[in-house]
Structure 1
Amino acid sequence: MNPPVNHTARLGLIDVAPVFAAHGVRSRRWTVRPGLALAGLFVLFLLIAALQPAWLVSGDPLQASAREAFRAPDSVYWLGTDENGRDILTRLVYAVRPSLVLGLSATAIGLLVGTVFGLAAGLGPRWLDGAVMRTVDVLLAFPDLLLALVIITFFGQGQLNLILAVGIASVPRYARLVRAQTLGVRSAGYVEAATTLGLSRAAVIVRHILPNAIKPVLILATIGIGGNIVNGAALSFLGFGAPPPAPEWGGMLAMGRNYLANAGWLVAWPALAITLTVVSISAIGRELLRRSEGKRP
């Protein structure tokens, strides 16, 4: 029987795995899947569009022209024009900033407030834990979008109120996650050791409990950014976002639905933008979660 062929040697390459093994070092292969690479590139494109949209498009998202209305995609207007003759590509690019700001800000609000309630429930007396968790259970019975819709009904229309509504609607989810992590961390050996050494309760919470309880929740919050973007677009579609003619994906969908039969591209492009954004951000968040758990890609 012929011995196995060492393809590494045949190609003139050096196989370093035996060297690492001999020194007690495990070799790690860093592989990037094509789908994850595409998601990263798309998120990079979104960041550029949010920070410097003029680098990608040169037009004005509010410039209208009646003669150019309902122009199908061509070599001049790559994605076509809307009912007022505005370039859809330009409006899509300028709509990235409010969408990302909404997703990041709403997630930050939900995470911050949820962390406070989660720590209070996990470290406080039993009656406080019961009161917080029963309130959280009631709020979790409602979908985030419905809860945000109820909240924004009281606050009124506008981008800032939209961010507040979506952020507050995500508080119960983060409060439950932080509370669960806190219950697991507060009985860890290093927390008991810090208490034995004479550290104050506040110091133990800030130095040991909070960092270890919030770390996995931060990674899960990355996935939640995409969900908040969808909820924000849905509320904008219902008319609770920034008023027209501000470029906004949800608002573009709402206007385009009136001309769906004759100008389907008015709905197709903003819907595709929302889908790609949510899928890309979620893919990166799930990869971060996988690597934090030590799972191989």
Structure 2
Amino acid sequence: MSQTVETVITGPAIGTGGTRPLRLGNWAHVRPGLWLAGLFVLMLLLAAAVPHWLAPFDPLDATARQAFQPPNTLHWLGTDENGRDVLSRLIFGVRSSLFMGLAATALGLAWGTLVGLLSGLGPRWLDASLMRGIDVLLAFPDLLLALVIITFFGQGTANLILAVGIAGVPRYARLVRAQTLNVRQAGYVEAAVTLGQPQWVVVLRHILPNAIKPVLILATIGIGGTITAGAALSFLGFGAPPPAPEWGGMMAIGRSFLANAPWLVAWPALIITLTVVSISAIGRELLRRSEGKPL
């Protein structure tokens, strides 16, 4: 029978003069697909940080005589209708897509947390009022709600982030409210109230950290959804105007040339799919580990 081998790193323990083992055995059993997802996300982060290191050409450098070149040894993913390198445009588009996903998720989580806390800790009339408003927003699909919001504020990256972020508020508000109602009945919260700690201390030190912890993990999964929503809105023409290298915008322009240059749509669609799948896989693994489920 095979024996499980755990890797142990010995280092100085905090607050003691001895050592403590840091077990890495669990990571040795991570599925290969998860390692690939993590590697892909790391590549995206590198592309977002230093795109000029990875991109072989300037994403805005147009050469008409090189238009519609299929993938070749010089242009690995081909060129677009203006002769611009598709690979370079995809790499430079990583920053805007990831920033949009992270910013919209953070915005939705921040407002959702505030609404959820007020609903879970406030009087019944406030809870009922906030939840009825949340129910109305939940009646609309996220993309439709984002479209309604962006219609009022106009197009552009900042308004796109605002629209997608607000569309995610109802989901996070309900999660935070449910966690708050559960945590507020915990023994350590009752003990803190009994000891006479101020209400704001009880909320910030005991209720908020424990209520938002599982929501943060679910928000990691939600980043992929916000990236998809942002790409969809850019595809519809509500994102950054051309010639900005944006995945959704690239697909929108490429659909006009789908018959003779299918790679203009295929490559952005593939990179969006891989990004969403990779981020979702990492988020679900974090959720599985937080629940103590076996790998």
Q: Where do 1:33-52 residues align within 5 Å? A: 33-52=31-50
2:242 equivalent in structure 1:
244
Q: What whole-Å deviation, never above 9, does each CA across 1:95-132 have from its counterpart, x for those lacking one?
A: 00000000000000000000000000000000000000
2:196 matched residue in structure 1: 198
One-letter amino acid of the structure 2 residue matched with residue 182 of structure 1: T
Q: Is the 8 A contact 2:156 2:238 kept in 1?
A: yes
Percent identity of paired positions between Structure 1 and Structure 2 = 73
Deviations 1:203-240 (A, max 9, x none): 10000000000000000000000000000000000000
- Flag structure 1 segments of 5+ consecutive residues without an equivalent: 1-5, 17-25
- Aligned mates of 1:15, 1:105 — CA distance in 2: 38
Maintained 8 Å contact 2:6/2:24:
no
Q: Which runs of 5+ in 2 are unaligned?
A: 8-22
Matched, 1:290 2:281: no
TM-score, normalization: structure 2? 0.92
1:95 match: secondary structure: helix
Q: Does 1:253 align with 2:255?
A: no
Q: Distance in 1 between matches of 2:103 and 2:174?
A: 20
Q: How does 1:82-121 map to 2 (within 5 A)?
A: 82-121=80-119
* One-letter code aligned to 1:236: S
Query: Could you tell me whether the CA contact under 8 Å between 2:108 and 2:168 is conserved in 1?
Result: yes
TM-score normalised by length of structure 1: 0.91
* Aligned-residue CA RMSD (Å): 1.7
> For the residues of structure 2 that align with 1:90 and 1:296, how far apart are their CA atoms?
41
Distance in 2 (CA, whole Å) between partners of 1:190 and 1:244 is 55
Residues 56-135 of structure 1 correspond to what in structure 2 (within 5 A)?
56-135=54-133
Per the TM alignment, residue 7 of structure 1 is displaced from its structure 2 partner at its CA by 5.8
Deviation of the 1:58 alpha carbon: 3.2
Between the aligned partners of 1:27 and 1:52, the Cα distance in structure 2 is 31
CA contact (8 A) 2:90 2:247 kept: yes
Post-superposition, which runs of at least 4 consecutive aligned residues in structure 1 deviate over 4 A?
13-16, 26-29
Greater Rg over alpha carbons, structure: 1
Q: Summarize the alignment of residues 168-247 of structure 1 with structure 2, pairs less than 5 Å apart.
A: 168-247=166-245
Q: Give the equivalent residue in structure 1 for 2:14.
A: none
Which residue matches 1:3?
A: none
Contact persistence 2:5–2:25 (CA under 8 A): no
- One-letter code aligned to 1:169: A
Aligned residues: 279
Matched residue type, 2:191? A
